[in-house]
Amino acid sequence: MSRSTLLVAASLVALALAPTARGFNPQIAGLQIALHQRGLYPGPIDAVQGRKTVRAVRTFQRRHRLAVDGIAGPRTRAALGTPGRPLFGARVIRRGMRGYDVGVLQFLLRRHAVRPGRLDGRFGPRTATAVRRFQRRTGLRPDGVVGAHTAKRLCALPACAWRASPTHSSVHGAIDYWSRTYGVDPHLVRAIAFWESGYNNSLVSRAGARGVMQVTPATWNYVETVLVGRRIPRTRSGNVHVGVAFLHELLREFRGDVRLALSAYVQGPRSVRRKGQLRETRRYVAGVLALRGRV
């Protein structure tokens, strides 16, 4: 692989999208298409991981003897076969290709009012024509190949609500930005950050949890590989990003129950489901909620 191709691939990987405040994430469209092809997902291809999408993922996981958590992580996507990989942004996409990323591409083209044909994850002639039409409309070379520039343009326009990760000058700035991005209460995030680290990004616990949000290596890997689909910088803003993305997912898993989500943040969701709140966890939740709105 040439150096220029490697650079293009690296640029594309950086385009994997995090959910917006409404839960919209174009990567989810690829999952919905793959599940629809399996006859498991009857809902709309809307890139929102709602109840029907989660239910379909759980059904697929049970049938394939995978951990039934409703999350399409690497193992679940691998079990889906060709329609389950790779994520949009992991490669340059050309005519004749099939896969998860082609489904996302087709969804994005449709969002931009360019008709790609059926949303089936197959880069056929209609999809190629739609790509060239989009490229001409946006001032790109109409070669029908979805490289870094075309992918970024697809995700930079309002229909995709994509924004590059910012460089924040303060912990509060990072908390406000990522809380707004994920639709999480910033006062709750500030309370967690204050309780966990006192806003100290240099803090490392005995268990290896790091930074403002005291993120463990396992949680960081989970957020990167499952929730976001790309590497997150090991910076202060990146640490807050991981913590907020994880909290957002816990709030979704526990249906908006803040106490259970906070319990899962410190104790782990599986442990909370199996054992309930431990005594130390109850103290943690009470402490964080007491700080909410005061820090």
Q: How confident is the model at residue 251 (pLDDT cuts 50, 70, 90)?
A: very high
Confidence at residue 132, expressed as pLDDT on a 0 to 100 scale: 96
* Residue owning tokens 């239910």: 55
Q: How confident is the model at residue 159 (pLDDT cuts 50, 70, 90)?
A: very low
Confidence at residue 108, expressed as pLDDT on a 0 to 100 scale: 93
Tell whether 254 is covered by a domain: yes
Question: In terms of domains, do 178 and 123 share one?
Answer: no
Q: How far is the C-alpha of 242 from the C-alpha of 82, rounded, in Å?
A: 29
Phi-psi domain of 121 (left: phi exceeds 0; alpha: psi -120 through 50; beta: other): left
Question: In terms of domains, do 104 and 29 share one?
Answer: yes
What tokens were used for 133?
């039409």
pLDDT at 39 over 70: yes
pLDDT at 238 over 50: yes
Q: What single DSSP character describes residue 87? A: P
Q: Which residue, 92, 121, 156, sits at the end of a domain?
A: 156
End-to-end alpha carbon distance in the chain:
50
Q: Which residue, 156, 179, 208, sits at the end of a domain?
A: 156
**C-beta separation of 35 from 56 below 8 A:** yes
Tell whether 161 is covered by a domain: no
Tell whether 180 is covered by a domain: yes
Confidence at residue 103, expressed as pLDDT on a 0 to 100 scale: 96
pLDDT at 64 over 70: yes
Question: In terms of domains, do 245 and 102 share one?
Answer: no
The CATH number of residue 250's host domain is 1.10.530.10
Question: In terms of domains, do 34 and 65 share one?
Answer: yes
Confidence at residue 136, expressed as pLDDT on a 0 to 100 scale: 93
Structurally, how many domains does the chain consist of?
A: 2
The pLDDT tens digits of the residues spanning 10-35 come to: 444 433 434 443 456 788 899 999 99
Q: How far is the C-alpha of 219 from the C-alpha of 171, rounded, in Å?
A: 20
Report in angstroms the alpha-carbon separations of 241 from 33, 35, 79. Answer: 28, 29, 29
**C-beta separation of 38 from 32 below 8 A:** no
Q: How far is the C-alpha of 145 from the C-alpha of 201, rounded, in Å?
A: 42
Q: How far is the C-alpha of 147 from the C-alpha of 176, rounded, in Å?
A: 32
Confidence at residue 242, expressed as pLDDT on a 0 to 100 scale: 95
Tell whether 191 is covered by a domain: yes
Question: In terms of domains, do 185 and 278 share one?
Answer: yes
Question: In terms of domains, do 202 and 270 share one?
Answer: yes
SS3 19: coil
Looking at per-residue confidence, does 88 or 16 come out higher?
Answer: 88
- Determine which helix (DSSP H) or strand (DSSP E) holds 191, and give its type and residue range: helix 186-197
Question: In terms of domains, do 15 and 45 share one?
Answer: yes
Question: In terms of domains, do 230 and 190 share one?
Answer: yes
Q: Which residue, 110, 126, 156, sits at the end of a domain?
A: 156
Tell whether 26 is covered by a domain: yes
Q: How confident is the model at residue 156 (pLDDT cuts 50, 70, 90)?
A: low
The pLDDT tens digits of the residues spanning 199-227 come to: 888 888 888 899 999 999 999 999 988 88
Domain of residue 284 covers 171-291
* % the chain with pLDDT above 70: 87
Question: In terms of domains, do 151 and 179 share one?
Answer: no
How much is the average pLDDT of 227-240? 89
Confidence at residue 22, expressed as pLDDT on a 0 to 100 scale: 43
How much is the average pLDDT of 90-117? 93
Residues ≥6 apart with Cβ < 8 Å to 243: 189, 192, 193, 212, 213, 214, 215
Confidence at residue 274, expressed as pLDDT on a 0 to 100 scale: 92
Question: In terms of domains, do 126 and 243 share one?
Answer: no
Tell whether 162 is covered by a domain: no
Confidence at residue 1, expressed as pLDDT on a 0 to 100 scale: 42
Q: What single DSSP character describes residue 279? A: H
Question: In terms of domains, do 142 and 207 share one?
Answer: no
pLDDT at 4 over 50: no
Question: In terms of domains, do 131 and 17 share one?
Answer: yes
How much is the average pLDDT of 184-210? 90
